[in-house]
Amino acid sequence: IASGLPIPFLFVQDHEEQINAFVAGIDPQFTTLTVTRGALDQLNRDELQGVVAHEFSHLLHADTLVNTWLFAIVSGLAGISYVGYKLIQFSSLGSRNRRTVPYTVLFALIFIVIGSLGSLAAQILKAAISRQREYLADSAAVQFTRNKSGIIGALKKISLMPQHFRFGGNSMAREVSYMCISPTTQFWTDTLLATHPP
């Protein structure tokens, strides 16, 4: 009611014991809100309200749309590297004209370097934007609920979770980390690629 948004479709990840939640969808009429079993079991009513309000902020401020665009950019730049790797694979299979092989490898290396550097820069930008949107969602949660202790308590519990960076061992955890209220994975480059502020 406080956000003025329609009620999204609601889902529970029963198999996930960690505290987490996320929203998906671009059209406000067709959005989903998912919470984990861990969030339902470990958070009290005020904390759960704070988490849900945090997720509603992502819907209200069209963060899912922003993240879709950023994901498309990162994927596109990664695709340039993929083309480079395929060119190297093609040249290693042999060519009828041996004079073209060095040029093919050179073009492939250029593709790989441009794609890799562009993808890394885009991922750093995506993480920085995601961290700022998380701050906004936290403040909006307080605005919606008129209760700062709810979101504060939830974030404290999230920060104390053991192995909170594991998300069911799923290989796609890194790709969806920006969608969730708590990090789904941990990077060796945490300061640059972390999708959530401390």
Cite the active site residues.
55
Residue 79: CB partners within 8 Å, gap ≥ 6? 115
Question: Cβ atoms within 10 A of the Cβ of 56, count?
Answer: 24
| 3-class DSSP assignment, residue 32 | strand
- Please name which of 175, 193, 190 lies closest in space to residue 24, comparing C-alpha atoms: 175
Q: Which residue has the tokens 């984990």?
A: 36
Task: Give SS3 for 58.
Answer: helix
Nearest to 18 by CA among 41, 48, 51, 2: 41
